[in-house]
Amino acid sequence: MKLYYAPGACSLASRISLHEAEVPVEFERVDLKSKVTEFGEEYSQLNPKGYVPMLVLEDGKAITENIAILLLIADRQPPFEPGNPLGRIRLVEMLSYLATELHPAFKPLWHGAHDIEKAAAREAVTSRLELVAEQIRELYLFGPRFTVADAYLFVMLRWAKAFGAWMPVELLAYFERVAERPAVRQSLAEEGLRGDLHSPFFGSHTSAQETAM
């Protein structure tokens, strides 16, 4: 397998999840401004959508969209919430909320909006995070088991902290717990992101930061 990624972007959730699932995988960085990979490939020819992540499977077939990739990884792990017929549906429900409500709320913060728009975006992020905080059960979103949804949420909590969006105390403690997981620490190190988890900016790959949304 190969994951095409940009440092600090939402593709970080896929990297974390692949490591958590112990799936052997290669990684290839994409410059989202030039649309060229670190090995000189034209990324738009590989993925006409032009953004990350993209996961290429062992047979050469490619999967795009974060939710699709995260669900594929989840399906390679033990069944989610055995005995609960709505277990996997709840996982899809949370991933959908993160992808369609929380993730897009950051857009003005990524793209140089006016201060008023940025303030409104921070408020929108906070209101969505408050709803997510209500879902925290025990250690993670679905109790004691870490899931692909936790990986995705962790990435957006990094964004929230970097952009100065307020978040509930429950999510601050949650962020610290997730950050200590070996797969998370490994993933951050591999992408060259800062190790200071109390100030989790995106590292030195500015081109990826500016165009990750």
The band of 185, judged by pLDDT with boundaries at 50, 70 and 90, is very high
Alpha helices by DSSP H, listed for the chain, are: 11-20, 43-46, 66-75, 87-97, 103-105, 107-110, 115-133, 148-162, 169-179, 182-190, 206-210
The band of 84, judged by pLDDT with boundaries at 50, 70 and 90, is confident
- Tell me the β-bridge partners of 64: 54
**Burial (CB count within 10 angstroms: exposed 0-12, middle 13-18, buried 19+), residue 41:** middle
| Cis-peptide, bond into residue 53, ω within 30° of zero | yes
Model confidence pLDDT, tens digit, residues 99-153: 999 999 999 998 878 999 999 999 999 999 999 999 887 899 999 999 999 999 9
pLDDT of residue 208: 36
Is pLDDT above 90 for 34? yes
| 15-20 average pLDDT score | 97
Is pLDDT above 50 for 212? no
What is the Cβ-side half-sphere exposure of residue 42, based on CA atoms within 13 angstroms? 3
- Tell me the β-bridge partners of 29: 5
How far apart CA 78 and CA 74 sit, in angstroms, is 8
Is 4:46 a contact under the CB 8 Å cutoff? yes
**What's the one-letter identity of residue 200?**
P
The band of 82, judged by pLDDT with boundaries at 50, 70 and 90, is confident
The band of 175, judged by pLDDT with boundaries at 50, 70 and 90, is very high
Is pLDDT above 70 for 201? no
Report the percent of the chain where pLDDT is more than 70: 91
Handedness of CA 124, 139, 21, 72 (dihedral sign): negative
The band of 199, judged by pLDDT with boundaries at 50, 70 and 90, is very low
pLDDT of residue 194: 65
Chain centre to alpha carbon of residue 46? 21
Is pLDDT above 80 for 206? no
Calculated CA dihedral for residues 45, 46, 52, 54, nearest 10 degrees: 160
Q: What domains sit in the chain, N to C, each tagged with a CATH number?
A: 2-75 (3.40.30.10), 87-191 (1.20.1050.10)
| 164-188 average pLDDT score | 95
The band of 200, judged by pLDDT with boundaries at 50, 70 and 90, is very low
**Burial (CB count within 10 angstroms: exposed 0-12, middle 13-18, buried 19+), residue 169:** exposed
| 143-172 average pLDDT score | 95
How far apart CA 31 and CA 90 sit, in angstroms, is 34
Chain centre to alpha carbon of residue 114? 25
